[in-house]
Structure 1
């Protein structure tokens, strides 16, 4: 019973919001006081939502991903691809109820993926994608609980050396590409080597982006527009190429496969994942070796953080040269 006789008075023992709601227990001196207190507790349920038990959140993980895409991801340049990847992740984890999703669930999924041959770097990327979904939904007010992946550590990745092409390799590669059946591959490669552009940025160039001695790169990875000066010879070559091979507003057609074949014919081997990106690394590496400024390189490459650009700092001629003159053996010899 809600009210019962107890030592020292009358005990009110009630869950006014029903099963799952908060339980109240209080002993009062008289039965009348106990009944009045019981009535007051019941009235609070109808007057204030705070007294009602919290409803269980039964949304599936895929439903949260759909919300993220509808209210945020759709505005990202890679939003559709990221959304599909997130949905595939949810399906692979059994599409759990989001409120029961935990770091241990993702850790188990991650272990299975690593055992299947997926790289740690890719798993860190998936971790970041899914963690961002919860962060963004929290900012938008669609998620009230803690981010289940907030405290899960990513894998520590051993940095690999960024491969760049030597002058001899560049000459050999361009000679091979010059003989390719694809009419675009040679000039796309030159654009990447002269500007540090990503392959997709160069391959998708439009006539409106080439003017006044510079190329303006839009639809970039960072979402920001950047302009890089080019020589008169390169601008003329781009204009001539468009007249002969352009389609609509596009200067080039697709040429990725032709570039890969050209690398094979030139006998140039590159680490996994650094195929066309080696051209961007080559630009940055030679820029620094020739005495370029690291801050200028950051702007050219469009890096949001200088930390990314600092990977090339060791190639500068003066990098850490003090080590030759300031080590203790030099001072001992001088003495």
Structure 2
């Protein structure tokens, strides 16, 4: 009699043996590599009945069948992430492209085989190519969030392969801000620039702590009642910042003279970069226009501003980000001058 191959394999994984304590059923219903079941019975009949029951479970109950291997590739998971989560993010399209580039550079492995060592190897190559540790931490966070979001949505049931991989500890760089003299010099230079927008965009950033893109893309409807309402922000939350009557009047006049549709300004980033170059002001890499936001926050604190108010103005989700400016407050840690042991000795 010829048995089907599947039945032969099943028979190999099921056996009844006579032992000193009775009849032993030794079985692996899910096949080799699956969970093994062993149970001893007093009689051979009971053992055979149990063996038959195990066979029926394999053929009738899907929970007993071997789990199918997940053959989706990393790029496929990124596609799922984008379809069900990334489309709702303001930077979703850009983030998707970054993620796909990462997946391609890693070799686009089967997602179930992807692990921390693969990413660590990729990260090492990127660092050797000149990428900063801070940039690698961002890439790590992007890819880790893909698995976290898919797990929340029910499209990923295994552990996050990057969940236990630690990011690099990055030394905080000094936040560069402009002095009063530098601000005056810069504004004087930009006021005579050929670009009609750069001077006023810069004033908006210095007056409100806005990011350059937030100020540059202002619409007329966002300026009213003595304040600017920033809508398309990095955090996705709307925030309003009061402005002077003079700045509001200048914005309204500029819109009448140079407005394009609902937009108050045209693009002026290049004009700002060229203006900074003409002044000879040196700024750290990556802080060209962001120095205006740092300058607002720094002078706000040096002039006695409240750190919690600053957090709301800047739109930081966490106070930790805003605390970078706390050391500029006039009263910051001033107790150190009076409460140290040498001061106490002199007072004695």
Aligned to 2:193: 180
Note if contact 1:3-1:35 (Cα within 8 Å) is conserved in structure 2: no
More deviation, 135-144/256-265? 135-144
Aligned to 1:211: 224
- Deviations for 1:160-195, whole angstroms, at most 9, x for unmatched residues? 110000111111111111121111111000000000
| TM score, norm. by length of structure 2 | 0.93
Which residue number in structure 2 is paired with residue 71 of structure 1?
A: 84
* Alignment correspondent of 1:136: 149
In structure 1, the partner of 2:173 is: 160
Could you tell me how far 1:330 is from its partner in structure 2? 1.5
Q: Which residue of 2 aligns with 1:301?
A: 314
Matched, 1:6 2:18: yes
1:272 aligns with 2:285: yes
For 1:234 and 1:109, how far apart are their aligned partners in 2? 49
Deviation at 1:4, TM superposition (A): 4.7
SS at match of 2:135: helix
Aligned to 2:28: 15
**Partner residue, 1:330:** 343
SS at match of 1:131: helix
Match of 1:111 among 124, 137, 144: 124
Q: Tell me how far apart the structure 2 counterparts of residues 168 and 55 of structure 1 sit (CA, whole Å).
A: 68
Q: What per-residue deviation string (whole Å, max 9, x for no partner) do you get for residues 80-128 of structure 1?
A: 1111111110000001111111111111111110110000000000111
Does structure 2 retain, via aligned residues, the 8 Å contact 1:93–1:105? yes
Of residues 186, 194, 201, the one that matches 2:207 is: 194
C-alpha separation in 2, matches of 1:251 and 1:151: 47
Q: Secondary structure of 1:154's match?
A: coil
Which ranges of 4 or more aligned residues in structure 1 deviate by more than 6 Å?
none
State the Cα distance separating 1:18 from its structure 2 match.
3.9
The CA deviation at 1:38 is: 1.6
1:51 partnered with 2:64: yes
What is the 5 A alignment of 1:119-134? 119-134=132-147
- Counterpart-to-counterpart distance in 2, 1:233 and 1:80: 39
Alignment correspondent of 2:74: 61
Cα gap change, 1:14 to 1:304, in 2 (>3 Å): same
- Residue from 228, 237, 252 that aligns with 2:265: 252
1:281 to 287, 290, 294: 294
- What is the TM-score normalised by the length of structure 1? 0.96
Per-residue deviation, 1:324: 1.4
Q: How many residues are aligned here? A: 335
1:249 aligned counterpart, secondary structure? coil
- Number of the residue aligned with 2:246: 233
5+ residue gaps, structure 2: 1-10
Q: Is the 8 A contact 1:21 1:51 kept in 2?
A: no
Matches within 5 A, 1:34-49: 34-49=47-62
What secondary structure sits across from 1:215 in the alignment? strand
The answer on whether the counterparts of 2:305 and 2:329 sit within 8 Å (CA) in structure 1 is yes
Segment drifting more, 185-194 vs 49-58: 49-58
Instruction: Give me the whole-angstrom Cα distance separating, in 2, the residues matched to 1:47 and 1:329.
Output: 83
Q: Following the alignment from structure 1 to structure 2, what is the Cα–Cα distance between the partners of residues 7 and 224? A: 72
Ranges in structure 1 where 5+ consecutive residues have no aligned partner: none
